[in-house]
Amino acid sequence: MKLVENIFSVPYLIINRQYEVLYFSKEVEEITDLSSNFLELVDEGSISKVQEEVSPAKNKNKVEINIYQGERKLDPLLIDLYIHWKNDLQAELLLIPKDQRISDITVSLGELRSRLSNTNFELLEEKEKLQEAIDENNRLSAPFIELSSTTALVPLFGDLNDEKMYTISDNLLEAAQQADKETILVDLTAVGDIHHDGIVVFQNIVQSLSYMGIEIVVIGVNPDHAQKINQLQLKLGLRFISSLHKAIQKYCQ
């Protein structure tokens, strides 16, 4: 590298196609620690931009980049890089620092992006915790209660939708297999709204229990439930009893 006297008092470099610094003005050292290769002065986030824009194919060009101000490579300096290729082998570069207010805004935006990134991560964690709580609540919405050696009760709570039914499906089928019951009473007394997709998943659960040789008896069906089940026109192959008291009298005596 050679120090040259530039006619203008601005940071000035001449580099080759390998980005090696051939000549430089003393003003370069006022804004950055000079290195033998220009890419070593460039902030990591701007390197790909330099490699794309500082090319003989683009004879004259201007690009906004960040360069390092010191050996510790902290507090990148925002500059306008003016490029002029003298020929296919050498390019002249002018490094013009941006207005300090713009640099301050850039730093502020970087800090904001960092805070937003942290906030997004925190929101993701909270979303995962919320989903875990929802799943746990859904699992607790269908406890498996053994009433006798042959009969078990599964009371459902809340709205009957596909998310809830998918959540309780595995636990219910596993509990039924381990308990080895002949009859399961499914109590809908505490069920709110019945969704179409929830009934579809419920039908799959009933079919799986039927394959295990278990009889399913549905109790506590109110007129609204009955109307929706009838509108769906699903043949679940179920038995219905109006109340839990009658079902216990029939299956637990």
pLDDT computed for residue 16 by the predictor: 93
DSSP string for 203-223? HHHHHHHHHTT-EEEEE---H
Burial 163-190, CB ≥16 within 10 A → b, else e: ebbbbbbeebeebbeeeebebbbbbbee
**Residue 59 to residue 86: CA distance in whole angstroms:** 8
Q: Where are the alpha helices (DSSP H) in 68-222?
A: 100-140, 162-179, 196-211
Whole-structure pTM value: 0.47
Say whether both 84 and 184 belong to one domain: no
Say whether both 167 and 234 belong to one domain: yes
At 55, the amino acid letter reads S
Say whether both 112 and 201 belong to one domain: no
With beta carbons less than 8 A apart as the criterion, state whether 135 and 164 touch: no
Which tokens go with 199? 């009934």
pLDDT computed for residue 89 by the predictor: 92
Say whether both 145 and 245 belong to one domain: yes
pLDDT computed for residue 179 by the predictor: 87
**Residue 95 to residue 31: CA distance in whole angstroms:** 9
pLDDT computed for residue 209 by the predictor: 87
With beta carbons less than 8 A apart as the criterion, state whether 155 and 145 touch: yes
What H or E segment, with its residue span, contains residue 229? helix 223-232
pLDDT computed for residue 137 by the predictor: 58
Say whether both 146 and 247 belong to one domain: yes
Looking at residue 45, what DSSP letter applies?
Answer: G
With beta carbons less than 8 A apart as the criterion, state whether 182 and 148 touch: no
Last residue of a domain, one of 118, 139, 160: 139
With beta carbons less than 8 A apart as the criterion, state whether 31 and 97 touch: yes
- Provide φ and ψ at 169, rounded to 5°: -55, -55
Question: How large is the average pLDDT for residues 198-219?
Answer: 86
Say whether both 159 and 234 belong to one domain: yes
Say whether both 47 and 90 belong to one domain: yes
At 208, the amino acid letter reads S
Say whether both 84 and 118 belong to one domain: no
Say whether both 165 and 187 belong to one domain: yes
Residue 109: pLDDT band (50, 70, 90) is: low
Say whether both 145 and 127 belong to one domain: no
Q: What is the CATH number of the domain that holds 11?
A: 3.30.450.20
Q: pLDDT (tens digit, 9 = 90+) per residue, 141-199?
A: 678 888 888 888 888 888 888 888 888 888 888 888 888 888 888 888 888 888 888 88
Q: Looking at the 3D structure of the chain, how many domains does it have?
A: 3
pLDDT computed for residue 113 by the predictor: 67
Question: How large is the average pLDDT for residues 89-104?
Answer: 75
Last residue of a domain, one of 139, 166, 188: 139
Domain limits at 107?
101-139
**Residue 15 to residue 28: CA distance in whole angstroms:** 13
Question: How large is the average pLDDT for residues 79-102?
Answer: 82
Which tokens go with 146? 């053994």
Say whether both 239 and 155 belong to one domain: yes
Say whether both 225 and 124 belong to one domain: no
